[in-house]
Amino acid sequence: MRTRRHRSRTVLAAVTAALLGAAGCAFGGGSAGPDGGTATARPSPTSAWDRTPRSLAAVGDSITTGYDACRVLSDCPKVSWATGTDPEVDSLAVRLLGKAGADGRSWNHAVSGSRMADLPAQMEKAAAHRPELVTVMAGANDACRRTTGAMTSVAAFRASFEEAMEVLREGAPKAQVYVASVPDLKRLWSEGRRNPLGKQVWQLGICPSMLADPDALDAAATERRDTVRDRVEAYNTVLEEVCAKDRRCRFDGGAVFEYRFGTGELSTWDWFHPSVKGQARLAEIAYRAVTAREEPS
């Protein structure tokens, strides 16, 4: 018990020192899909999709940098679901390119704390490699704000993603794009609140729009969490619709949002980001989507 209390104090002290500069992303799942928006018809058959790309670039936020998966308040790219080389994860790059290929023909330009507005700059860096596949996982930070009123508007989210795709097409017109849905932050709350340490860490300011007062079940708290979840669903509708306009883009069909993860797939440092096991699950989801004959629906 002394060791566990000491570890708890160490974690809390470290989080307090750097929390405001840390990433605000999360890994989650749920049971509901996008909010009913109608995706634009794809301009060409999905047969144009190449299921064996030979190079890969990743953009996004702290989920893709492996934040808090190996050590507290630190990126850990080796366990990234997209480009990592850790055998426990068996990343998308390793599955597609092999270990040697992942080392030499994959690039990770994700940045912890990024929002969708940061994606165009990341896409420019990714396009410079002329990759055959670009992975996108972004949007959780747009919902994880201090208040629900501070969340990125759906219109601004759409404009930034459209700009990012335009930047990619200018620099790498033939690159394919795999777009992961935004995780369900409400499921993160429902799972992580079971752990007392996790709730202590959350109280220091992690994703307050969803995770503030984790034990509160009154009408106001419920409405706040539902508002965040509705915004995430709206973001996913945007990702699907914008992706559908591009013949070389494939959305995951809401697979990340819908994945019903458990606490073992959350970081034990913050009960918020994916653990190594969680990163492995994301890699599995991505590989299935990229190598499927038909686009996920």
CA distance 85 to 112: 19
pLDDT surpassing 80 at residue 223: yes
pLDDT surpassing 60 at residue 31: no
Burial class (CB in 10 A: 0-12, 13-18, 19+), 78: middle
- pLDDT reported for residue 27: 56
- pLDDT reported for residue 284: 98
Q: Which residue has the higher pLDDT, 161 or 199?
A: 161
Q: Provide the CA 103 distance to its chain's centre, in angstroms.
A: 22
Q: Which amino acid is at 119?
A: L
pLDDT surpassing 90 at residue 160: yes
pLDDT surpassing 80 at residue 233: yes
**Which two tokens mark 169?**
């097409």
The residue ranges of every structural domain in the chain are: 25-32+45-291
Torsion of CA 18, 19, 21, 26, to 10 degrees: 140
CA distance 241 to 159: 12
Place of tokens 């509708």: 237
CATH code of the region 25-32+45-291: 3.40.50.1110
pTM of the model: 0.86
Percentage of the chain lying above the pLDDT 90 cut: 78
Relative orientation angle of helices 185-192 and 219-244, to the nearest 10 degrees? 140
Supply φ then ψ for residue 138, to 5 degrees: -155, 155
Q: 62-107, pLDDT tens digit by residue?
A: 999 999 999 999 999 999 999 999 999 999 999 999 999 999 999 9
Query: DSSP string spanning 206-242?
Result: SSHHHHSSTT--SHHHHHHHHHHHHHHHHHHHHHHHH
Q: Which residue has the higher pLDDT, 2 or 129?
A: 129
